[in-house]
Amino acid sequence: MSAVFLYVTAPHKDLAEHIALQLVDEGLVACANIFPKMISIYRWKDKVQEGEEVVLILKTRTELIERTSTRVKELHSYECPCVVALPIVGGNGDFLQWIQEQTASPTPMK
């Protein structure tokens, strides 16, 4: 089993916290970090947009990427939320083991 970061953006801190709390509570992620402010520039529906967003970094197992991504989409307000997996290629073995332990028994899907 290997660990990954899931990079997620959200329109504001309250939604990011809500998503983070749900996913940790459900055992889909071991930990979530929220970076409270960034500027995003992107094209949406044929228009260049600019706005503030927050970044949510989620730590989970590779095996839970799809399930966690689906859950983020259920909880998110965006029509097409950014949820991308970034591999963790190394690090503190104890921490990586902790991620595995915390996500070993996620809440069953409904």
For domain 3-102, the CATH class is: alpha beta
Cβ-count burial 45-70 (b if 16+ within 10 Å, e if not): eeeeeeeebbbbbbbbbeebbeebbe
pLDDT in tens, 51-87: 999 999 999 999 999 999 999 999 999 999 999 999 9
pTM: 0.93
Predicted local distance difference test score (pLDDT) of residue 38: 96
Predicted local distance difference test score (pLDDT) of residue 108: 84
pLDDT in tens, 9-61: 999 999 999 999 999 999 999 999 999 999 999 999 999 999 999 999 999 99
